[in-house]
Amino acid sequence: MLSTKATCNSHGQDSSYFLGWQAYEKNPYDPISNPKGIIQMGLAENQLSFDLLESWLWSNPDSAGFSAQNQSLFRELALFQDYHGLPAFKNALVDFMSEIRDNKVTFDPNNLVLTAGATSANETLMFCLAGPGDAILLPTPYYPGFDRDLKWRTEAEIVPIHCSSSNGFRITEWALEEAYEQAQKLNLKVKGVLVTNPSNPLGTSLSLHELDLLVSFISSKNIHLISDEIYSGTVFSSPGFISIMEVLKNKDLINTDVGKRVHIVYSLSKDLGLPGFRIGAIYSNDKVVVSAATKMSSFGLISSQTQYLLSQILSDKKFTKNYLSENRRRLKQRHEMLENALQKNGIKSLKSNAGLFSWVDMRGLLSSQTFEGEMELWKKIVYEVGLNISPGSSCHCSEPGWFRVCFANMSKETLDLAMQRLSLFVDSMPKTKDQIHRLKSLKKDLRKTKSLPKWVFTLSFTTTRSGMESM
Ligand SMILES: Cc1ncc(COP(=O)(O)O)c(C=O)c1O
């Protein structure tokens, strides 16, 4: 008696990405009450700079208490219903978006549509651009939530643009054309390309070359480009972040037909670490898209008290400047901590410069170079090692053995423990020839670096300990 939508499984809830969360929820690690529980490393959450926001709230009790000049704003906010959003918030948000882009571009608040997070922004844009029988091209690996956000209710399809480790998962013209042809073979009408810049799960920002390629591609095919820039404020090292908006501006394309087919998605879930507040936005130069998306936004508005609070925080320019640079510094430090620990265990990852995660190459730990081998390793890591990480297959990666490992949703101590668990596991594993080779060359490199500590040389090549005795 239920609708097909309610009973179909295209939501993607049965993907290993969500199954890992369920495993974690049944047995969550807690240093005191459940020290042997699963550590959550599959959640792209930023908890590193909460103290900065808390301290702002502490010093601005009026804003946090919804009053101004000794007058309560309670009634005004409780009654506010305009789906265009609070003008003060939209102004503050576009300024913040410019600041993240080093003020190289500006955004017109009239082109902004507020949504309940980037989830709603992406779905709303899809409703504006595509429907059943249409396709959107997406570079792999991609954020597992896109299967739900872009396809489930809109009934549009995703066709993957296969990217490979051979060039660091970069987008190529060949891969774009191949995906376009594939969609046509499937009788789907291609409506656009969606990229995340910086990428989830890669943690890399798009190069100017890739952005140029994308602009030429959508221009020649007469299709749209959605640039999900939800991680734009997390870029912690070079190369920096180039927004698609900057590319359009430099090519003088903003108010052209091509410029109108480029749409940006943003949210404060990652840069400010506020996924619970549900603050997202669509930015588009196409008035028709802005108008349609604004009407649709009635289904997923941001509450007026949240808009008010954030308008106050984001208008404090001294605060936002300091927050952005301090948050980047903390992310960089955390990223280094994870990378160093992985390296000690002979595990490499993709060189990255942004995001809340690393894209880790565990091909050397697979029993076979297949997706079955990847699932086998993933289950061991979740249930035996006690770490919930996301397998590449849940991100539609076309090569087995890659995993997304999050580093910003836990304390340093928990990350340390997670790496100790991983280390014991790696020590306990029979090594493949490839891994022995990698460990040997790493050892050689380290010998050359005199300043490195002694422990680095104690890397084990044998299968000694059972691994998890001390867990
Ligand atoms: C690339 C990307 N887009 C969208 C989202 C959804 O974000 P929000 O919490 O703002 O809905 C996420 C969350 O992880 C994401 O990584």
| pLDDT tens, position by position, 146-169 | 999 999 999 999 999 999 999 999
CB atoms under 10 Å from CB of 207, counted, come to 14
Q: Write down the pLDDT at residue 447.
A: 55
Q: Specify the residue with its C-alpha closest to ligand 1, atom 3.
A: 118
User: For 163-181, what is the mean pLDDT?
Assistant: 98
CA distance 203 to 438: 23
**What's the predicted TM-score (pTM) here?**
0.91
How sure is the predictor about 430, in pLDDT bands with cuts at 50, 70 and 90?
Answer: confident
Distance 436 CA to ligand 1 centre (A): 38
Mean pLDDT of 51-61: 96
Q: How confident is the model at residue 21 (pLDDT cuts 50, 70, 90)?
A: confident
> Which of 38, 100, 226, 230 is an active site residue?
230
CATH code linked to domain 63-319: 3.40.640.10
Question: Do the domains 63-319 and 4-49+328-439 match in fold?
Answer: no
Ligand 1 pocket check for 378: Cβ under 6 Å? no
Phi, psi of 206 (to 5 degrees): -70, 140
User: Is a pLDDT exceeding 50 seen at residue 466?
Assistant: no
Spatial neighbors of 250 by CB under 8 A, at least 6 apart, are none
**Which contacts (CB < 8 Å, 24+ apart) does range 171-178 have?**
171/139, 171/195, 171/206, 171/210, 171/213, 171/214, 172/213, 173/213, 173/217, 175/139, 176/137, 176/213, 176/214, 176/217
Crossing angle of helices 317-344 and 304-315, rounded to 10°: 90
C-alpha closest to that of 310 among 95, 27, 43? 95
Q: What percent of the chain shows pLDDT beyond 70?
A: 90
| Mean pLDDT within 59-70 | 91
What residue owns the CA closest to ligand 1's atom 7? Answer: 118
Catalytic-residue membership of 143 = yes
Domain coordinates of the chain in residue numbers?
4-49+328-439, 63-319, 440-471
CATH numeric code, 4-49+328-439: 3.90.1150.10
pLDDT at 439: 62
Structure tokens at 469: 């005795």
pLDDT top residue among 458 and 236: 236
- pLDDT exceeds cutoff 70 at 243: yes
Q: What is the mean pLDDT of the chain?
A: 91
Query: Among 6-15, 74-83, 454-463, where is mean pLDDT lowest?
Result: 454-463
Is the separation of the CB atoms in 311 and 109 below 8 Å?
no
Q: Which amino acid is at 13?
A: Q
